[in-house]
Amino acid sequence: MQIDFAAQIEELKARVSSLEQGGQENKLSMVVFSGDLDRALASFIIATGAAAMGMEVMLFFTFWGTPLLRGPGKTAVGKDLMGTMFGAMLPKGAGGARLSKMNFAGLGTSMMQGLMAKKNMASLPEMIVLAGELGIKICVCELSMSLMGFKREEMIDYPDLMYCGVATFLEQAMGSKIQLFI
Amino acid sequence: MQIDFAAQIEELKARVSSLEQGGQENKLSMVVFSGDLDRALASFIIATGAAAMGMEVMLFFTFWGTPLLRGPGKTAVGKDLMGTMFGAMLPKGAGGARLSKMNFAGLGTSMMQGLMAKKNMASLPEMIVLAGELGIKICVCELSMSLMGFKREEMIDYPDLMYCGVATFLEQAMGSKIQLFI
Amino acid sequence: MQIDFAAQIEELKARVSSLEQGGQENKLSMVVFSGDLDRALASFIIATGAAAMGMEVMLFFTFWGTPLLRGPGKTAVGKDLMGTMFGAMLPKGAGGARLSKMNFAGLGTSMMQGLMAKKNMASLPEMIVLAGELGIKICVCELSMSLMGFKREEMIDYPDLMYCGVATFLEQAMGSKIQLFI
C-alpha cells in the first residue's frame, strides 16, 4: 500500500510541475502598434497602472508606435532617401503624437493636451519617463526600425530599452496573464 | 515513511492552492476604447456571445467609447465650456455612432444600419439593452468622464453600471481567460 | 492513517484534474477585424511567428478583415444590389489592402510595398500562402459574409478555411494562452 502512495504522489508532483511551468505570471504584455496620441495614452495608463499594482510589464513598440520613441533632440547620419522621407513624415517622438479623431489640424490635440494639464494628468512624454522609473520594459520591433529606416542613436534614452522581434513578444505574452494589442 | 507522505502531500496541497488562486476563470474582460460603430458592434457581438455561453463579462468603456453610453434624452447642468464643447461634438449615445470606414457623410452608416435591420440583426442600442439583460457588467472610466466633462446623470440607465479606474479593469482582466482591447 | 493519505491524494487528484482541464494551451487566437494593410501585416507577422515557434494558431476574420480573403480572380453570381455595391467598394483581396495612415491616394501604400520587397519581406498575399503552409487555421465570420453579401465561391483557396460564428472564436480563445484583437 505504501508503494502505491509513493507512486501516486510522484505522479501528482509531475502533473503539478507541468501546470506550474505552463502557468502565466502576474505579467502584462502589450503591443503598441498605434502612434495615435489617444491610443498611446491608453497604453501608458494601463501599463503604469499595472506596474503600480506590482505587475511586470513589457511593451512591444511596432509600426506606427515606433516613432513615439524617437528622441526629440536626436539625429542619425547615413540615412538613405526612404529613411529620410519616413523620418520627416512621422512624428518626432511622443510629443508629436496626434489624436486619431477630432484632431482638427492639431487644434483638437492641443485642446486635449491643455485639458490633461489642467486636470494634472501627466503628458505622454512624462508618462514614458514614469514608465521607465516603474521598471516597465520596452522592446522596439527591429523589423519596424529597419522598414522605417530608424537608427538606434535616434531613439530616446530609456532605462530598459531593447530591440527585438516578434518571437520575444510571443514568449513574453505566453507567460503573461494579460495581453493586449493597441 | 508515513511522515514523509504527509509532508509531501502538504507540499502538493500548497502548490495546488497557489495554482488555483492564480487561475483564470471563464471570464471575458474587454476595453471598449473605440467609439466607431463597427468596433462597438464587434465588442457587443463578442460580449453577448460570451454571456450566452455562460461566461462572466465585464466591459470597460474608455476614451471614444465613453460617449456611446450617453443617454439620448438625458442632459446635465453646470458644465464648463470644455465639457459643453465635447458634449456637442461627440456622439450623443450609441445611436450616433458612425462607421470607421466608408461612412460617406453618414450614408454608409445608414446603409449598414438598414442592412442589419433587414438581416434581423439587433442595432447597437438594442445590443446594449440585451447586454444588460444578460448580466454583462459595464465599467465607465472615471478619467475619461472627467476629461470629456461628462456627468453621471447624462449616462444611460443600465442594470449593472459602475464608474471605475484602470486598476479595476486590470484586476478583472488578470482573473479572466480572455482579454481584448477594441 | 493510511486511509487518510488515500483520501487526501484523491482530493488532490481531483483538484489537479480540474486545473488541467481549465488550462490554456500553447495556442494563439486572433480576431482580424481591420482590413488595413498595416494591421493585417501585423496579424500575419504575429501569426506566422507563433506557428514557427510551434504554437497552434487560429485567425478569425470579421468585418473589414473579411474582404482580405477574397480571391483576386474569383467571382460570384446571384448577388443582390447591396452585395454588388459592397463587392465593388471593398478591396478585392489582400493585394488591395491600403495603409491606415500615410496612404496618400495609394502612393504611401506602394512605397511601403516597394520597401518591403527591397528588404526581402513577404507581401501580404505571400504571407497568407505561408500561413496556410504553416497550418494556421482561418475562420471567416459568417455574419460578416452575410452582411457584406460575400459568397463562399469568391473566397481564396486556403488549406484550412472554415466559416463560423463568434462562439467558435470564443471557445478557441478560452483555451488559448494568447488572444488578440487587431
What pLDDT was estimated at residue A80? 87
pLDDT over 90 at B1, yes or no = no
Cell numbers found for residue C50: 507563433
Contacts of C180 in chain B (CB under 8 A): 180
Number of A/C CB contacts below 8 angstroms equals 79
Q: Which residue of C has its CA nearest to A168?
A: C49
| Spatial distance between the Cα atoms of C177 and A179, rounded to a whole number of angstroms | 9
Nearest 5 degrees, angle CA B19-CA B20-CA B23? Answer: 85
Query: CB within 8 A of A89, min separation 6: which ones?
Result: C102
- Nearest chain A CA: its distance from C38 CA (Å): 8
Task: Inspect the interface and report whether the beta carbons of C49 and A89 lie closer than 8 Å.
Answer: no
- Nearest chain C CA: its distance from B129 CA (Å): 19
Q: Phi/psi at B179 (nearest 5 deg)?
A: -130, 135
- Nearest chain B CA: its distance from A25 CA (Å): 8
B1 in reach of chain C (CB within 8 A): no
**Distances from the Cα of B47 to the Cα of B62, B162, C63, angstroms:** 16, 17, 16
Task: Inspect the interface and report whether the beta carbons of B20 and C15 lie closer than 8 Å.
Answer: yes
| Spatial distance between the Cα atoms of C140 and B127, rounded to a whole number of angstroms | 22
Encoded amino acid at B40, one letter? A
| Spatial distance between the Cα atoms of C122 and C118, rounded to a whole number of angstroms | 10
B63 in reach of chain A (CB within 8 A): yes
Lowest mean pLDDT across A121-125, B32-36, C2-6, C123-127: C2-6
**CB neighbour class for B78 (10 Å; exposed up to 12, middle 13-18, buried from 19):** exposed
- Nearest chain A CA: its distance from C94 CA (Å): 19
| Overall average pLDDT of the B42-62 stretch | 98
Contacts of C139 in chain B (CB under 8 A): none
Task: Inspect the interface and report whether the beta carbons of B50 and C170 lie closer than 8 Å.
Answer: yes
Helix, strand, coil percentages in chain C from 3-state DSSP, rounded to 5: 55, 15, 30
What pLDDT was estimated at residue A20? 85
Picking from B1, B9, B165, the nearest residue to A2 by CB comes out as B1
Picking from B20, B116, B177, the nearest residue to C24 by CB comes out as B177
Neighbours of chain A (3+ CB pairs under 8 A): B, C
Task: Inspect the interface and report whether the beta carbons of C31 and B180 lie closer than 8 Å.
Answer: yes
Is the CB of residue C43 less than 8 Å from the CB of residue C59? yes
Residue with the three cell numbers 489642467 = A118
Q: What is the pTM of this model?
A: 0.94
Q: Regarding predicted confidence, which is higher, C115 or B45? A: B45
| Overall average pLDDT of the B153-182 stretch | 96
What pLDDT was estimated at residue B47? 98
Picking from C63, C167, C171, the nearest residue to B38 by CB comes out as C63
| Spatial distance between the Cα atoms of C55 and C15, rounded to a whole number of angstroms | 27
Task: Inspect the interface and report whether the beta carbons of A55 and B82 lie closer than 8 Å.
Answer: no
Q: Which residue of B has its CA nearest to A30?
A: B181
Contacts of B111 in chain C (CB under 8 A): 82
Task: Give the model's confidence band at C3: pLDDT under 50 very low, under 70 low, under 90 confident, else very high.
Answer: low
Report the mean per-residue pLDDT for chain B: 93
pLDDT tens, residue order, chain A (182 aa):
556 888 888 889 988 888 888 888 899 999 999 999 999 999 999 999 999 999 999 999 999 999 999 998 898 888 888 888 888 989 999 999 999 998 888 889 998 999 999 999 999 999 999 999 999 999 999 999 999 999 999 999 999 999 999 999 999 999 999 999 99
* DSSP letter assigned to residue C71: -
Task: Inspect the interface and report whether the beta carbons of A19 and C24 lie closer than 8 Å.
Answer: no
Among C2, C37, C45, C179, the residue to mutate for chain A (most A Cβ within 10 A) = C45
Q: Concatenated DSSP letters for chain B? A: -HHHHHHHHHHHHHHHHHHHHH--EEEEEEEE----HHHHHHHHHHHHHHHHTT-EEEEEE-GGGGGGGB-TT---SS--HHHHHHHHHS-SSGGG---SSS-GGGHHHHHHHHHHHHTTPPPHHHHHHHHHHTT-EEEEEHHHHHHHT--GGGBPP-TTEEEE-HHHHHHHHHTEEEEEE-
What pLDDT was estimated at residue B104? 84
Q: Which residue of B has its CA nearest to A19?
A: B19
The tens digit of pLDDT for each residue in A41-54 reads: 999 999 999 999 99
Report the mean per-residue pLDDT for chain C: 93
Among B25, B32, B100, B130, the residue to mutate for chain C (most C Cβ within 10 A) = B100
A81 in reach of chain C (CB within 8 A): no
What pLDDT was estimated at residue A164? 97
Q: Which DSSP helix (H) or strand (E) runs through A150?
A: none
Question: What number is the ipTM of this complex?
Answer: 0.92
- Nearest chain B CA: its distance from C60 CA (Å): 12
Is the CB of residue B26 less than 8 Å from the CB of residue B56? yes
Q: Which residues lie across from B137 on neighbouring strands?
A: B58
pLDDT over 80 at C2, yes or no = no
| Overall average pLDDT of the C85-101 stretch | 92
The tens digit of pLDDT for each residue in B62-85 reads: 999 999 999 988 988 888 888 888
Among C11, C31, C100, the residue to mutate for chain A (most A Cβ within 10 A) = C100
Number of A/B CB contacts below 8 angstroms equals 79
Q: Which DSSP helix (H) or strand (E) runs through A179?
A: strand A176-181
A12 in reach of chain B (CB within 8 A): yes
| Overall average pLDDT of the B175-180 stretch | 96
pLDDT over 90 at C145, yes or no = yes
Task: Inspect the interface and report whether the beta carbons of B170 and A55 lie closer than 8 Å.
Answer: yes
pLDDT over 80 at C1, yes or no = no
Nearest 5 degrees, angle CA A109-CA C180-CA C164? Answer: 120
Contacts of A62 in chain C (CB under 8 A): 42
